[in-house]
Structure 1
Amino acid sequence: MQVENIPQIYQQEDRQADDLFIYDYKMTEDVVKSKVQLSMNMFSFLQVGKKQVHFADASVMVNKEQSLLIRQGNWLWTELLDNDDIYYCKLFFFSESRLKAFLEKHSSLEYNQGNEQSFFIIENDAYIASFLGTLSQMAAMPESYSTQMLTIKFEEIMTYLLAKYGEQFERYLYSLISKESSPFRKTVEGNACSNLKLEEFAFLCNMSLSSFKRKFISEFGESPGKWLQDKRLQKAYDLLLQGERTASDIYLDFGYGNLSNFSAAFKTKFGINPSDLHRNS
């Protein structure tokens, strides 16, 4: 099953990544345990249908009476239609920098990252329904105004939920802030898009190859080969999208011995050939 990179798959290719982003998500078929790589924290304001999310240590199911705030990470999503044969939710993504700015302005707690939690359940009410209605009306605004309004609406919903749930919500927000990386994680992440082999990563970490693999799975939750391939292919995608380099220029940089292997892996992950992406950029 292909991994969905969210919110990237919803954003226009010719736009820079936004640190606040809204997307109306609708379906007419059930989706069961879709693999999702969520790169931003996200509100999922459910309007019609049911949603279940599997995390590393828990799972949660909500219906249209509830919404979710979900931390960035790799999750499994199940989305089920309602009796109206449709599933609809409004997704509101925000970056860590936006979150930090909000907490600096509104938090009453001393800085405390708190215990890591994957999700926060929000009980829908009349205020939230009205808030979502105003988000829908923003679609008709010129882009310059809607961008300014989105900043205001982010402050509004965060302030409202802070008032509604108090310290419980405030501590959850702190738990969303990335913790300082361990030396092992820094070494891996700092070299993720190089063409280093696993043996070379293990050497840099002063570990045997077998110890490195065990530590990697413990730290990142998946095998080093799969994780590194995903990171490298995503970086290659971003480079090709800029239109300045071709697959022939970059495949060696990402650890592939020949162009055909790179192209095959790229198409498996993204569904298109790297040459097609370069042509369309």
Structure 2
Amino acid sequence: MDYQLKYITPDIKLSSYEDKLFKTEVVFDHHMLVWFISGETKIIQADESHVFRQGDIFLIPRNQLATIINYPKDGLPHKSVVMHLSTDRLRDFYAKLDVKPKVVSTPKIVRFGNHPLLKSCLASLIPYFDMQEEAFPENIASLKITEAISILRTLDMGIDDVLANFEEPHKIDLATFMERNFMFNMPLEKFSYLTGRSLTTFKRDFHKVFHTTPQRWLTQKRLELAHYQLSKNNRKPVEVYLETGFENLSHFSFAFKRHFGYTPTTLAEGGR
């Protein structure tokens, strides 16, 4: 994969790649402000999906499970500028303000279209990625991030409820969370963190609720979802495996046949 990732600071990066497809499943530790220069991205969450294209600007809240599928488009590489809005920077920003954020149980991705103020802020970073030897001054980076936060607050009156909320995940109902998020192929450590548990407590509570191990339950649930997508929604195996938590098509096909006794291609072609 022809992939390039350039950082001008730990919080500001430019990503670019020209391969046909790049998929990752993530939980971001920081809020992510993204501007697409070219390419296309599909972001799949438990309750909704988004497609972003050239020019789109959006904010992904931290601690949200998501499957991200990136594509080149119209002969151009998938290219984006990404700004991390870290908790430390946001604490510094909001320390000067009297803001009391409302509790948002599951913050949503926020779209800003191709707003000229945000575009101008993020586009101004492009020349700095070409600097070979000079370090990007921290004071300028700080000013740029502060500018971006100020613009976000101008465009969205409710954004403080997301950006000024510094709470860590608290202990939540494990069954409800896992039923909504099983399709994300994340380490168990991430699942345990997002449910407000240590890994040991997560495994213990999981067995009490589901009477099996997390790995076995997750595989079965993902295969059942894939079967539904193939049989009821007429999806193709190459589309389904990406959205149901499998690493690659061959592993998905092997696990599917072992569980159901026939291949996903057979099912998709109406053989079952």
TM-score between both structures, scaled by the size of structure 1: 0.55
Is 2:57 the partner of 1:67? yes
Q: Which residue, out of 106, 111, 126, partners 1:136?
A: 126
CA distance in 1, matches of 2:68, 2:89: 25
Structure 1 gaps of 5+ residues are: 1-8, 13-17, 224-281
The within-5 A match list for 1:173-188 is 173-174=163-164, 177-179=166-168, 181-182=170-171
1:152 aligns with 2:149: no
Give the CA RMSD over aligned residues: 3.7
CA distance in 2, matches of 1:57, 1:65: 25
Give the Cα–Cα distance (whole angstroms) in 2 for the partners of residues 214 and 33 of structure 1. 32
Give the structure 2 partner of residue 233 of structure 1. none
Alignment correspondent of 1:162: 153
Distance, in Å, in 2 between the alignment partners of 1:94 and 1:128 is 14
Q: Work out whether residues 51 and 80 of structure 1, in 8 Å CA contact, stay in contact via their aligned partners in 2.
A: yes
Checking the alignment, whether the CA contact within 8 Å between 2:99 and 2:164 is kept in structure 1 is no
Residue 55 of structure 1: how far off its partner (Å): 1.1
Question: What is the match of residue 88 of structure 2?
Answer: 97
**Larger % of helix: which?**
1
Alignment identity in percent? 12
Listed as ranges, the gaps of 5+ residues in structure 2 are 175-191, 220-272
- Does structure 2 retain, via aligned residues, the 8 Å contact 1:120–1:172? no
Secondary structure of 2:36's partner? strand
Conserved? CA contact 1:53–1:76, under 8 Å: yes
Alignment check: 8 A CA contact 1:113 1:174 kept? no
Which deviates more from structure 2 when the two are superposed, residues 118-127 or residues 40-49? Answer: 118-127
- When the two structures are aligned, how many residues end up with a matched partner? 191
Q: Secondary structure at the match of 1:123?
A: coil
- Residues 1-281 of structure 1: pairs in structure 2 closer than 5 A: 20-31=10-21, 33-72=23-62, 73-106=64-97, 109-139=99-129, 140=131, 142-143=134-135, 145-165=136-156, 167-174=157-164, 177-179=166-168, 181-182=170-171, 191-192=198-199, 202=204, 210-211=207-208
User: Residue 82 of structure 1: CA displacement?
Assistant: 2.0
Q: 1:85 to 1:137 in 2, by over 3 A?
A: closer
Query: Once the 2 structures are TM-superposed, how far is the Cα of residue 149 of structure 1 from its aligned partner?
Result: 1.4
Deviation at 1:104, TM superposition (A): 3.1
TM-score by length of structure 2 reads: 0.57
Between the aligned partners of 1:169 and 1:146, the Cα distance in structure 2 is 28
1: distance between equivalents of 2:125 and 2:111?
20
- Distance in 2 (CA, whole Å) between partners of 1:42 and 1:123 is 15
